[in-house]
Structure 1
């Protein structure tokens, strides 16, 4: 095992065991290196790597701390990784979203408060009939973000947030390439909202599946046509 990976594993073990909890300050670099049997350079590289994925927080002049380790914070790295994937791999992310989002929508149909549903209605009503592609995508992202948050599972919400990068680009392409995208999006969002308002999880799940699968099917066809040229 490369020495940096070994250092990462040893710090991880300290956190998993509870020796270093959320918010805890790591021992001085020199002391920790001796204790773990590592060189200071490999320890430094490990700390740098763990800070990039939000496990550690390096504070200049103060020390290095374990972060809160909250799911939303740790899963921020997912969107960073996702953004590096090429457009040809976007359908794979949409496929994962098609698996997760219908269930999140079904959960939201039973978990969202009346006030949260009213906010969701306001998002839908806030989309103008003459919306351009940028407005459509922003409104779509906010609509789905509120549903994911309303499902009541922060891990699921963070996963869906992380997947929004490539799927947002897919929605842009769809809006540019297809006429009536605004009206179709509004109709499908209205159906999802009605299912949530009537506390109908099975119906909410079905409409969310139709909505995401439509984007996925269109994108696969578009990419297939591009590759056949």
Structure 2
């Protein structure tokens, strides 16, 4: 194991064990290095890496602290990974979205308030008046995220927000290259909303699955036809 990786693991172990609580200040560099049996250089590299992961935060002139460790912070590293994903990695992200979002959509069927359903209806109306695929996908993202927010689980919302917004370029490419893609998406959205308005959890989940699977299958087919093709996610 590289010395930097060892240092990262030791600091993480202190956090997991409660020796370094969220919001607490790390000991001075020389003290922590001696405590962990590390060189100061290895410790510095570990702190830089953990800061990039948002596990630690550095306050100029004040020292280094354990972050709040809130899920939205820790998921930012996943957000970056999704940003740079292409090809088969993008396909894997869509597969994860398909596994999670339909279940959340089904749960939302019993939780959405009348005003929430009206807001969803308004989003769909606006999505039918847009001039570009990019505008449509922006409304598409807003529609799905509003449904997931009704579940009331911030971790789930953040995770699906990452997956949804970071797969938007695939949907833009599909919408640009496939003649009936936008019409199909409109119909899928109507099916999802109709099921939600009927409070039918199973139908809502099924409609969401069909909707997400369409993009996934298109990307899988594109990669199969041209394995070297890189479609930004």
TM-score, normalisation: structure 2: 0.90
Q: Aligned-pair RMSD on alpha carbons?
A: 2.0
Counterpart of 2:151 in structure 1 is 151
Question: 10-19 or 123-132, which moves further after superposition?
Answer: 123-132
Residues 149-199 of structure 1: per-residue CA shift (max 9 Å, x gap): 222222222221222355211101111012233332222112212222222
Instruction: Please tell me whether the aligned partners of residues 107 and 201 of structure 2 are also in contact (alpha carbons under 8 angstroms).
Output: yes
Counterpart of 1:109 in structure 2 is 109
Query: How is 1:157-196 mapped onto 2 (pairs within 5 angstroms)?
Result: 157-196=157-196
Question: Deviation at 1:227?
Answer: 4.2
Instruction: Please tell me whether the aligned partners of residues 57 and 67 of structure 1 are also in contact (alpha carbons under 8 angstroms).
Output: yes
Residues 117-162 of structure 1: per-residue CA shift (max 9 Å, x gap): 3332222222133531110111111111212222222222222122
Question: 110-119 or 135-144, which moves further after superposition?
Answer: 110-119
Counterpart of 1:32 in structure 2 is 32
Change (3 A) 1:184 1:129: farther
- Aligned pairs, number: 229
Q: What SS does the aligned partner of 2:64 have?
A: strand
Q: What SS does the aligned partner of 2:20 have?
A: coil
Question: Deviation at 1:73?
Answer: 1.2
Question: Deviation at 1:210?
Answer: 0.5
Counterpart of 2:125 in structure 1 is 125
Counterpart of 2:46 in structure 1 is 46
Partners of 1:68 and 1:89 lie apart in 2 by 30
Question: Deviation at 1:111?
Answer: 2.8
TM-score, normalisation: structure 1: 0.92
Partners of 1:228 and 1:19 lie apart in 2 by 48
**Is residue 84 from structure 1 mapped to residue 69 from structure 2 by the alignment?**
no
